A and B are shown apart, each in its own frame.
Chain A
Amino acid sequence: MNIPATLRYTSSHEWVRTEADGTVSIGITDHAQAALGDLVFLELPAVGRKLAAAEACAVVESVKAASDVYAPLAGEVVAVNAAVTGAPEQVNQDPYAAWLFRMKPADAGAAAKLLDARAYEATIGDA
């Protein structure tokens, strides 16, 4: 299972990457895409939407199942990845390149408090 050490994670299987401008990119982990199987539909939050931490804000649907994506931290949606909504299979092919949306965190230090790769790996092991 691919869990890059440079990213942060949630127990609900989102990954978070802090960008140079202080925004964070959010996607779903390799574990999540493998469990869901071939993705065929994505519904992403509107740009400008303000989200609470752990708020359901996106939907990823595979052939098998639909699953909510949760905001890893509080903040505002500043961008969505339109390319990936047109080709959801990109999430299967490269889950860490296929980001879903970007947020401006309400608290600049919030991302650092999320799970690191080792802690996330431990949560999968428990599952």
Chain B
Amino acid sequence: MHKQTPLYAIHRAAGARMVDFGGWDMPVNYGSQIDEHRAVRGDAGMFDVSHMRVVDLEGAGSRDFLRYVLANNVDKLKTPGKALYSCLLKPDGTVIDDLIVYFFREDFFRLVVNAGTADKDIAWLEVGIAAHAPALRLTPRTDLAIIAVQGPNAGRALPQALPGAAGPVSVLKPFHAAMVPGASGGVMVARTGYTGEDGFEVVCPAGDAEGLWIRLRAAGVAPCGLGARDTLRLEAGMNLYGQDMDEKVSPLESGLAWTVDLASPRDFIGKAALAGHPPVRQLVGLALIDKGGVLRAHQIVHTDRGDGEITSGTFSPTLNQSIALARVPAGVATGNAVKVVVRDRELVARVVKLPFVRNGKVLVDLTP
């Protein structure tokens, strides 16, 4: 029996096809996954991401603790509500999880971590707290739900469904969040997402989720499943934990060097290992040039610097062509042609600069 979010019943009632994702029964699509993808690129769509775990960190010294356990530097978070993407690393420099951390007060930071990794992340953080900051409190918020409202019209639709969000929607900058007070504990509205479009993630009490979902639908927001979420994030060039990086690879070989702060004197878990091991591989974008199949995870990539492997691949509805993330030897450059083994054939693909798509616009050149 898999876990169910507070929106499980409404997904089933809508005829969603459900799959196991990280131990949760989640909607993969309601009707056409491609239509759901296009709703987000061109209008507004919503995703139940309540399987992701909100974890609150409270107590004096929270920032010092995060400075030590996160690879990105929380000192970048100066104004309340500001958010930061970071990896959680093991001492050997491999990736335990990726997460978003929100700063609200010096004694209150909020983390949002992946579903399948939540228990291990919390256990890891608890060990760190016991060793370095025993006064801190870590609270997994299983009482909350998360709805992501994404797309160019997300900012118009969200206040219709949640009037209290009108203020934050009009002033929030990307990667910022605000708390909206409310009767049943309030709501966090963040201008974040996983689609490459403008949009918001709304963290609300579990009991409020179904009502909000129904009002969003009435405001014209299309329910979208994890299938569309995957094609959207891949077009946006965003990694998926467990697929594009995990406890076997370095963030420096996962396209995440920009999130690892090796320059500052700050010490953090994993820093010494990463500093001592310059990357020999890199994560790149691939666009299929040949016809003849779809790029998928684990397909072998032949390059003139040696072989690599696709970590995520799919069909891109926006490009009308197959795209992928692939881990290939360092030195393979943007514009290079590579060959991908698709079933019994070798198909030509091109190394492209990420992202493939941002704010509805194609950013890569696919002309043969």
Contacts and interface: CB of A to CB of B under 8 A. Distances in A.
A40 B294 contact: yes
Contacts of B315: 40-41, 61-63
A34 B15 CA distance: 12
A41 B315 CA distance: 9
Interface in B304-333: 314-315, 317
Given A34-B17, A59-B343, A64 B32 contact: no
Contacts of B34: 38, 63
B303 interface: no
B293 A43 contact: yes
Given A34-B17, A38-B33, A63 B296 contact: no
A66 interface: yes
Interface in A42-69: 43, 59, 61-64, 66
B17 A66 contact: no
Contacts of B158: none
A92 B32 contact: yes
A22 interface: no
Contact of B293 (A34, A35, A37, A66): A66
Interface string A2-43: 000000000000000000000000000000001101101101
B227 interface: yes
A28 B178 CA distance: 50
Contacts of B28: 37, 64
Interface in B178-229: 227
**Taking chain B's interface residues, is the majority helix, strand, or loop, or is none over half, making it mixed?**
mixed
Nearest to B225: A37
B250 interface: no
A66 B32 contact: no
A37 B33 contact: yes
Interface string A82-98: 00000000001000000
A43 B231 contact: no
* Among A34, A37, A92, residue most surrounded by chain B Cβ atoms (within 10 Å): A37
Contact of A64 (B227, B292, B343): B227
Nearest to B314: A63
Interface in B272-319: 292-294, 296, 314-315, 317
* Among A34, A35, A38, A61, residue most surrounded by chain B Cβ atoms (within 10 Å): A38
Nearest to B19: A64
A37 B227 contact: yes
B292 A43 contact: yes
Contacts of B314: 63
B349 to A, nearest CB: 15
A63 B33 contact: yes
Contacts of A63: 33-34, 227, 231, 294, 314-315, 317
* Among A35, A40, A41, A63, residue most surrounded by chain B Cβ atoms (within 10 Å): A63
Contacts of A64: 28, 33, 227
Contacts of A62: 315
B29 interface: yes
Interface of B: 17, 28-29, 32-34, 227, 231, 292-294, 296, 314-315, 317, 343
9 contacts: A37-B32, A40-B294, A41-B293, A41-B294, A43-B292, A63-B33, A64-B28, A64-B227, A92-B32
